[in-house]
């Protein structure tokens, strides 16, 4: 275990290898950490080593960031407690000290990948897809307040059809 800032620490996770854990409580909507790293275009993806490809975040249409530490260790959960806006990680609800920070990887994505999920939550989808639009419509509606502005602007028409 190593402590990467006063707010969070990277530790072993029951979900997958390493995860990011709260070292103190966070209120709903509170800023937690920044997403730092090198920005790349989709066309550069093939030059990125596999080790880094597992740590990409979609930050614009066809634009990704190779995340730095500790944010690169945030695991997925089908019952997330954090979301990303403008390259910052915020609490989606109140988070207790010791809880693992988990996002839903299907938010802010339209990519064609899938992952077997081991989040262990009651509402686990089993398979997680890289595209927001493959989520059940009710979940797309539930998640819409957490979409990043770039995603909302880029896919305005598809999102407006949800309501």
Ligand X SMILES: C[S@@+](CC[C@H](N)C(=O)[O-])C[C@H]1O[C@@H](n2cnc3c(N)ncnc32)[C@H](O)[C@@H]1O
Q: Does 124 bind Zn ion (CB under 5 A)?
A: yes
Q: Give the per-residue contact string, 104-123, with ligand X (x = CB under 6 A; - = no).
A: -----------x-xxx----
- Rg value, the chain, Cα: 15
Cis peptide bond upstream of 58, omega within 30: no
CB of 102 to ligand X, least distance (A): 7
Instruction: Tell me which of ligand X, Zn ion, none is bound by residue 17, counting a contact when its beta carbon lies within the kind-specific cut-off of 5 to 8 angstroms.
Output: ligand X
In this complex, which beta carbon is closest to ligand X, that of residue 81 or of residue 159? 81
- Give the DSSP per-residue string, 99-118: PEEEE-TTTT-EEEEEEE--
CA 157 to chain centre: 23
CA distance linking residue 103 with residue 90, whole number of Å: 10
Instruction: Tell me which of Zn ion, ligand X, none is bound by residue 72, counting a contact when its beta carbon lies within the kind-specific cut-off of 5 to 8 angstroms.
Output: ligand X
Site for Zn ion, rule CB under 5 A: 78, 117, 119, 124
């Amino acid at each position: 275990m190593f402590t990467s800032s006063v707010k969070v620490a990277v530790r072993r996770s029951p979900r997958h290898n390493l995860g990011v854990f709260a070292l103190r409580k966070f209120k709903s909507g509170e800023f937690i950490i920044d997403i730092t790293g090198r920005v790349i275009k989709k066309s550069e993806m093939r030059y990125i080593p596999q080790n880094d490809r597992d740590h990409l975040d979609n930050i614009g249409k066809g634009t990704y960031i190779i995340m730095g530490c500790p944010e690169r260790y945030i695991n997925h959960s089908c019952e997330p407690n954090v979301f990303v806006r403008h390259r910052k990680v915020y609490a989606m609800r109140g988070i207790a000290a010791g809880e693992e920070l988990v996002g839903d990887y299907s938010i802010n994505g339209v990519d064609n990948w899938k992952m077997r999920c081991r989040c262990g939550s009651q509402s686990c989808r089993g398979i997680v897809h890289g595209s927001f639009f493959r989520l059940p419509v009710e979940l797309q509606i539930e998640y819409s307040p957490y979409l990043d502005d770039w995603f909302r602007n880029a896919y305005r028409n598809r999102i407006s059809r949800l309501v």
